[in-house]
Structures are given as structure tokens and as C-alpha cells.
Amino acid sequence: MWSLQKIANTIHEWLNTTFNSTIATTIEMVIAGVAVITLFALLGLVLVLMERRIAAWMQIRLGPNRVGPQGLLQSMADTIKLLVKEGLTPNGADKFLFNLAPFIAMIVAMLLMAPIAFAKDFQLWDLNIGVLYISSVSSIMVISILMAGWSSNNKYSLMGAMRSGAQIVSYELSAGLAILTIIVPIGSLQFSEIVQSQVNGWWIFKGHIPAIIAFVIFMIAVTAETNRAPFDLAEAESELTAGFHTEYSGMKFALFFLSEYVNVFIVCAVGATLFLGGWMPFHIGHWESFNHMMDYIPSSVWFFGKTFALIFLIMWFRWTFPRLRIDQLLNLEWKYLLPISMFNLLLMTALAILGWYF
């Protein structure tokens, strides 16, 4: 049985026996960097195609199916097209901030990869405050959006950036409270411990009612945080052209686009880790033989399977719900989600102290 952890260990041992430790560490860093960049590019290509195919499927049309078998090379062709487009800077734009914004978006998306457990014992940095790290780094994202909107010298961009700022900071609260609801019975912010605590069942089953409420709130909040429909007010086409990236073209636009899709992947990965057990196979209590059978499926397959299932859910939202108005959006957060998630946290705390979870 293959696993990502074994491959990583083999490379690590081979490097350390062949070279001295300094060179081995440097080579490992380079490999890690290249691996993450490859993952980024692959995610971009796969998710864009997935989105378009799912959209087509839900609207009973064909979608991209000409370039390559089943349209598999469509996003490759799109990348090449974007590569040969000119990156314009509008007159009167703040050139420095305008060019800095896509870099910040990419850096944030990349930094969020660090604590995510892709497979058993396979993550870049298993830091003990992993969840706090994710929620703090992901809030830097809003700076890049505000920067892009402000520096574009375009009223629509500015309006889109302001809307998106108000929206992201608002929904961060209920996303954070939903995460904390799961942290209370676990008692740790470390990703490996969170996954390990689900060895006898995932939290969405173990934590029953409060965990399910928290899961629903989490999915709503992250959909809003990643600026996706039905919360895509920041780039409402009928009102604001394209929102904060109206003035971006060519590769700079592609970077925003890519970081948006990678963010969707990351929030779904966090959701899968917290609620659906991350790389942990589907286990039921003390059914030893059943659990052994499930262990034969590699842990990375479990992780990516769950993550893509959640991504599918988020894409499904997009083609199901109509877009909200800004006042409806803020009402939903402040008058419904926030009080509910606060009450839910209290409920979960009481249940955790009483030990009323499986």
C-alpha cells in the first residue's frame, strides 16, 4: 500500500544518507516549495474545470468538452490565453499597491497551506495553534482585496472592495465560533490532534446536534468569506462589472482567480478536517473488522475525497441560490448566524462537560 508519508520518508532518508544535513535540508525545502507550487497549479486547473462542468451539468448543458478528452485540457488552454494577454494598469492608479495586491493574495493563499494535514503524518508544519493560525492568516486576505479595490482608480472596484471587506470581516465571526464549537470537546488547536480525536467517529456524528448546527453555519460562513455566490456581492456582475478586480487583466487577474479557488480548497480542507475527520478513514466505534477494511483506502484519498465533496457542495450553492442584497447579507450574519452560533457554543460546552457525546 502506498502512502504520501512513506514517499516523503524515503526521500528524507535518501537525502540524509547521500548529502550532509545542510544540503539535505535545503534540497528538502526546494522540493517542498516545488510541490506546493505544483499543487497550486493543479488545483487551479482542476477546480476551474470542475466548476464549469458542474455548472453545465446543473443547467442541463454540455460545458467545455472540446479541448482534450471531456474538455480536460480546457483550463490549460485558458492559462495559455491568459499568459499572452497584456496586464494593463489604468491611468491614475496607485501603481505600487496595484501591483502588490495579487502578490499578497498569493502569499496568503500559499501560507494557509502550511498546517493542513494532507495525509497521515504528511503536513508542512504541525504547529500547536494550527486552527488559530488558519483563522488569523486568512483574515489578511481582506487587505489584498481592499488594496486592489482602492488602488484601481475605479469607483466600481472601490465599492466592491468595501462591500467585500464588510462581508469578510462579518462572516469571520461566525466561522470562528463554529470552529470553536468543535475545539471545545477536542481541547486542542493542533491539526494532528484534531484528526486523531476522530479515530472512533467523525465529529459531525459524535457531536450530534451542536456539531451539525456548527457545520451548517461553517459552510455558510466560508462561502461568504471566499466571496462565492450567493454571497458574491463584491463582484456582482450586474452592479459592479467585476468588483475589486475589474481593472486587472492578464496574469495579475489570473493570480486573483487562482488564489480565490485555492482559498475555496483551503476552507473546505479545514471544514473536512474539523467536521469530517480529515485523513481519518470512516470508523464506527468498536467495529474492528469494518475499521480495518476502511484503513486499506489510503489516507490521502480520504482527505481529498472529503475536501472535494465539500467543494462540490459550495459549487452547488452557487447554482441554487439567488444573490443576496448587502443589507440582507449583513442581517443574516448579525441577526441570525452570530446569536445562533454563540448559543450553539454554549450548548456544546455543556454537552462536552457532561460528556454527552459518543
Give the interface segment with another protein, choosing from 53-61, 68-76, 269-277, 340-348 (CB under 8 A). 340-348
Euclidean distance between CA atoms 268 and 321, whole angstroms: 19
Quote the least distance from Cβ 102 to another protein, whole Å: 6
Q: How many residues bind another protein (CB under 8 A)?
A: 83
Which listed residue (40, 118, 231, 244) binds another protein by CB under 8 A?
A: 40
- The alpha-helical segments, DSSP class H, found in the chain are 4-18, 21-58, 74-83, 95-111, 130-138, 141-151, 155-186, 191-196, 203-206, 208-225, 237-240, 250-275, 288-295, 299-318, 326-331, 338-354
331 binds another protein (CB under 8 A): yes
Which listed residue (24, 43, 109, 145) binds another protein by CB under 8 A?
A: 109
Euclidean distance between CA atoms 310 and 302, whole angstroms: 12
169 binds another protein (CB under 8 A): yes
Burial of 135: CB neighbours in 10 Å, binned 0-12, 13-18, 19+: middle
53 binds another protein (CB under 8 A): no
11 binds another protein (CB under 8 A): no
92 binds another protein (CB under 8 A): yes
Of residues 257-286, those binding another protein (CB under 8 A): none
Give the interface segment with another protein, choosing from 98-106, 202-210, 228-236, 300-308 (CB under 8 A). 98-106
Which listed residue (6, 11, 27, 28) binds another protein by CB under 8 A?
A: 28
Direct distance between the N- and C-terminal alpha carbons of the chain, in angstroms, rounded to an integer:
31
**Cell numbers at 253, concatenated:** 487577474
Give the interface segment with another protein, choosing from 208-216, 287-295, 305-313, 350-358 (CB under 8 A). 350-358
Burial call 171-210: b when 16+ CB within 10 Å, e when fewer: bbbbbbbbbbbbbbbbeebbbbebbebbeebbbbbbbeeb
159 binds another protein (CB under 8 A): yes
Which listed residue (21, 60, 84, 322) binds another protein by CB under 8 A?
A: 84
Euclidean distance between CA atoms 337 and 345, whole angstroms: 12
222 binds another protein (CB under 8 A): no
